[in-house]
Amino acid sequence: MIGVGNDLRGDDAAGLRVARALADEAEVRELEGEPVGLMDAWDGFERAILVDATQSGAAPGTVLRIAAHEAPLPPEMRRASTHLLGVADAVELARTLEKLPPWTVVYGIEGACFDTGAALSPEVESAVGEVAAAIREELAGA
């Protein structure tokens, strides 16, 4: 289970918070979304779950679940910029290079505020609990 985000950027910490909630129940990594690190983190695993914050314009706290091994990630999961490649790029790159785990699920949590130094929004705080519970069920059903 890989939580992606930045603790210092408000709701961008959502993925990291889910990872911390599950630290005793799964093999957990906290990453910033750098693609080589991500590809390394899931290399050799049969199953991977990623959680990242999204900003698609949906209501804050909206949870998205995508079976990434079945289809490409939607544009709102993209984190690309002139400088960074992100989760969606890492997943698509891994797919092209045949390095994606055969079962890969990506959760997105819609953020409201990504300001430096901001706290987690209440809607995102509750979505973090919701996603952690959903992942627990996925793990139990494995």
Partner 1 sequence: MSRTKTIRTDYLARVEGEGGMTVKMRDGAVEDVQLRIYEPPRFFEAFLQGRDFREAPDVTARICGICPVAYQMAACLAMESLAGVEVEGQLRALRRLLYCGEWIESHTLHIFMLHAPDFLGVHSAVELAAIDRPLVETALRLKKLGNDVMRVVGGREVHPINVRVGGWYKAPTRAELDALVPELEWALAASLDATRLVAGFDFPELEQDYLFMALADDDEYPIDRGSHLVTSHGALFPVADFYEHVTEHHVAHSNALQATLDGEPYLVGPLARYALHHERLSPAAHAVAGDVGLEPVVKNPFRSIVVRAVELVHACEEALRLIEHYEQPPEPSLEVLPRAGTGHGASEAPRGVLYHRYRLDDAGTILDAKIVPPTSQNQRMIEDDLRAFVGAHASLPDEELQWRCEQAIRNYDPCISCATHFLDLQVQRL
Binding region for partner 1 (CB under 8 A) = 6, 8-9, 12, 31-37, 39-40, 55, 75, 78-86, 89, 92-93, 96-97, 114, 116-117
Nearer to partner 1 (CB atom), residue 113 or residue 134: 113
Q: Which amino acid is at 44?
A: G
Partners of 52 in the β-ladder: 108
Report the DSSP pairing between strands 103-110 and 63-67: antiparallel
Q: Taking the complex as a whole, how short is the minimal distance between the CB of residue 95 and partner 1, in angstroms? A: 8
Q: Taking the complex as a whole, how short is the minimal distance between the CB of residue 27 and partner 1, in angstroms? A: 18
Q: Which residues contact 64 (CB under 8 A, 6 or more apart)?
A: 54, 58, 74, 76, 77, 106, 107, 108, 109, 110
Nearer to partner 1 (CB atom), residue 55 or residue 62: 55
Nearer to partner 1 (CB atom), residue 32 or residue 130: 32
Q: Taking the complex as a whole, how short is the minimal distance between the CB of residue 9 and partner 1, in angstroms? A: 8
